[in-house]
Amino acid sequence: MKLGRSVEEAGVSLAQRTTRRSFLGRLGRGVVALAGGSFVAVALAPEQASARYWYFCGHTYTTRSCPHPFKPLSRVDYLGYPVNPTTGQPVDDKGRPYTDPKTQRRRLMCEQRVPDMYPYTGHPRYGGGWNRCCGRRVRHIKDCCSKSDTRINGDRAVRGYCYGGTKVFCVGYQELNIRC
């Protein structure tokens, strides 16, 4: 009985000290170290891989941001036009406050800027997305989907939350007026 209680206490202690992701990462590196040797486990350490990952408030991902004047913070409004990531005010393609449509250019990030800069993407459109709590507000992360087999960062494209045969090319986000 005493042994069972100490195992339970150890499990609770471990759960309080680690997140699910860090626990699974350690467990996975341990299995790889047993199967393939320590040099393989070192290569999988998160510190070694940090250059390949980008960060979006609570979510580490491998697909870079879509073209945006404030890259990597590719915040858009509900229509998909770029906005200032801090103030939420509309900006033109150069990041200046958007005040004069006659003299300033402001294009949709996924549907217009991506194919202009990366013609091989075809006609990209936003697919699905997911939500994260960021700064006590819900942030909706959006996948810009195309028929390209390569993502913006040069890696092989993944399906993500894209529709009918398209794959994630890049990502953007929208701040929602919902508290979390």
Domain ranges, ordered by start, for the chain = 1-51, 53-179
Q: What is the mean pLDDT of residues 116-121?
A: 96
Question: Which tokens is 14 given?
Answer: 């471990």
Tokens of 153: 């960062």
Average pLDDT, the chain: 79
pLDDT at 168 over 80: yes
pLDDT value of position 24: 53
Q: Looking up tokens 């993500």, which residue turns up?
A: 160
pLDDT at 31 over 80: no
Model confidence at 40: pLDDT above 90: no
Residue 38, pLDDT above cutoff 80: no
- The residue ranking higher by pLDDT, 79 or 31, is 79
Which residues lie closer than 8 Å to 1 by C-beta, 6 or more apart? Answer: none
Confidence at residue 58, expressed as pLDDT on a 0 to 100 scale = 55
Residue 128 pLDDT? 87
Residue 64: pLDDT band by 50, 70, 90 thresholds? Answer: confident
Amino acid letter for position 29:
R
Those residues whose C-beta lies under 8 Å from the C-beta of residue 125, and which sit 6 or more positions away, are 110, 111, 144, 145, 166
- Mean pLDDT to the nearest integer, 70-76: 90
